[in-house]
Amino acid sequence: MAAYTTNPQAIHETIDGETIIIDLASGTYYSLRGSGSEIWNALGSSEPLEAVVARLTETYDASPAEIVAAVEAFLGDLEAEGLVVSTNGTVAVEVPETDSPGGEPFAPPKLEKFTDMQDIILLDPVHQVDDRGWPHAAQAEPA
């Protein structure tokens, strides 16, 4: 499995088990719950991915192979959004099969994406602006 670290442009906070991530570069924000929030916070705390997968296996009613596949897919989603950066390394994730999986139903980690900030950033319709000279720097001010 590829190794990742979180992108410093992606600021985040976790409250009540839900993580809010804001990408300062793009204006997009995201929500993670459950196992997604756990994996994200592990990436930020440098907890080995193998330990995270083992913990998820102990918590949820799913096989290690199922959890590893879900984690890999989730990390791919995070990378596609630029929220994590590959460290160009790999980590071995070998979690032994267990006869006593966790009891909680497993919901694969999911990245929820919100792009409505563009509407808020624009605030109000564009008008009265385009005919202005200032502050266009290209127009030299009189001496």
Partner 1 sequence: MTGAVERAPRSGSPVEALDHLFAAATDARGTVERRYELAGMPVRVRFAGDAMLERIGGSFAHLEAPGSKHAELTIKVWDAASTGTQAPPVLGTELEADGTGPIYYYDVDGVQALSRWGTLSAYAAPGEGWFWAPSPDRMLSWDWASPLRAILHWWLGRHDILQVHGGAVGTEAGGVIIVGRGGSGKSTTTLACLAGGLRYAGDDYVAMQPRPEPRIHSLYSSGKLEPHQLERFPELEPALANPVRGDQDKAIVYAHARFPEATIAGFPLKAVLVPRIAGGEETRIVPTSGSNALAALAPSTIFQLHPPQENALSEMAALVRQVPSLGLELGTDLGRIPDVIRSYLETA
Given the rule CB under 8 A, which residues bind partner 1? 11-20, 22, 24, 27, 29, 31, 114, 116-117, 119-130, 132, 134-137, 141-142
Is the sign of the CA dihedral 87, 88, 94, 95 positive or negative?
A: positive
In the complex, minimum distance from the CB of residue 52 to partner 1, in angstroms, rounded to a whole number: 21
Of 31 and 59, nearer to partner 1 (C-beta) is 31
Is the sign of the CA dihedral 65, 70, 75, 76 positive or negative?
A: positive
In the complex, minimum distance from the CB of residue 117 to partner 1, in angstroms, rounded to a whole number: 5
In the complex, minimum distance from the CB of residue 36 to partner 1, in angstroms, rounded to a whole number: 12
H or E stretch including 78? helix 64-80
In the complex, minimum distance from the CB of residue 15 to partner 1, in angstroms, rounded to a whole number: 4
Token pair of 82, please?
Answer: 């630029």
Peptide bond connecting 135 to the previous residue in cis, omega within 30 degrees of 0? yes
CA separation for the pair 59, 54 (Å, rounded): 9
Of 103 and 136, nearer to partner 1 (C-beta) is 136
Of 92 and 122, nearer to partner 1 (C-beta) is 122
